[in-house]
Structure 1
Amino acid sequence: MSKIEFIVEKTKDGFSAFASNEDLPIGTSGDNVTELKNNIVDAYNSYAEIKDLKEITIEDVAIKLDVKQFFDYYKIINASALGARIGMDKTLISQYANGHKVPGPKQVDRILAGIREIGEELSSLNLTTA
């Protein structure tokens, strides 16, 4: 089964999501991304039960968040520092992060690759007390 894609939007209270496939009338919300993913699974599986479809798990869900919303939510990630790391002009990535410009697909892929690289590095780290 391929992943079911949900478009995510930042709201004043958290996040909302709706299925990108117009044939799936599924939407939900959550206070954070983890809660949102769990609510997506619950909403989909409720719909699946009615329509006699296969139930899903979190691994079956793909969420799409635009660049501005990503930086709004993950404020701990400094856009300028990320830009320097991936070789992107800090003014340009700042414009993306603030919603003044919308990055094209290649730029989104470049930003996402940098974010994933940092995530992999962080997940492999061990800290010591000495």
Structure 2
Amino acid sequence: MTKKKKIIMTVEKTDTGFSAFSNEYPIFTTGQSIPELINNTYEATGFYFEEEKVKVEPNDIKFEIDFQQFFKYYKVINAKFLAEKIGMNTTLLSQYVSGTKKPSAKQTEKILNGIHQIGQELSGINLLQTA
């Protein structure tokens, strides 16, 4: 079995949930939630490469979503909070989110690092139950 290079899946919000597709391969799928979409993508990708005897691991698949759709789905992430967290002008980040401006690769990386940092912080928190 050979290994495949990174497969980029573009994620889009739909009326019924989400869709993901590859521009390089005829792979596409849908899901009602992001976790379901991710699982369906692993299944669809494995099915596509099955005949070629190519092993595709979850690390081989990269999901991409544009700013507007990301912030539309993950409403819990406040753009003002994120901008302050990463040291970015709030108005500029809002323009990226609304689609009136496109971020550079460097700005995109800065935003993504901030999102990952928030995710790590949240995953390390346990809530106390009060009686």
Superposition TM-score tier, normalisation by shorter sequence:
0.7 to 0.9
> CA RMSD of the aligned region, Å?
1.7
Q: Would you say 1:54 and 2:57 are equivalent positions?
A: no
Q: Would you say 1:14 and 2:17 are equivalent positions?
A: yes
**Whole-angstrom distance in 2 between the partners of 1:74 and 1:31:** 15
Amino acid of the structure 2 residue aligned with 1:128: L
Number of matched pairs: 127
Give the alignment's TM-score, normalised by structure 1. 0.86
Checking the alignment, whether the CA contact within 8 Å between 1:67 and 1:108 is kept in structure 2 is no
Checking the alignment, whether the CA contact within 8 Å between 1:8 and 1:17 is kept in structure 2 is yes
Match of 2:86 in 1: 86
**Whole-angstrom distance in 1 between the partners of 2:38 and 2:65:** 13
Secondary structure of 1:107's counterpart equals helix
Q: Would you say 1:114 and 2:119 are equivalent positions?
A: no
**Whole-angstrom distance in 2 between the partners of 1:53 and 1:105:** 35
Structure 1, 52-61 or 97-106: larger mean CA deviation = 52-61
Checking the alignment, whether the CA contact within 8 Å between 1:27 and 1:43 is kept in structure 2 is yes
Residue 126 of structure 1 deviates from its aligned partner by: 2.3
For 1:90-110, what per-residue CA distance to the aligned partner results, in whole angstroms no more than 9, with x for missing partners? 111111112222211111101
Give the alignment's TM-score, normalised by structure 2. 0.86
Secondary structure of 1:102's counterpart equals coil
**Whole-angstrom distance in 1 between the partners of 2:50 and 2:83:** 45
Residue 87 of structure 1 deviates from its aligned partner by: 0.9
Amino acid of the structure 1 residue aligned with 2:41: I
Secondary structure of 1:44's counterpart equals helix
Checking the alignment, whether the CA contact within 8 Å between 1:7 and 1:63 is kept in structure 2 is yes
Residue 57 of structure 1 deviates from its aligned partner by: 4.1
Amino acid of the structure 1 residue aligned with 2:14: T
Counting aligned pairs with the same residue, the percent is 46
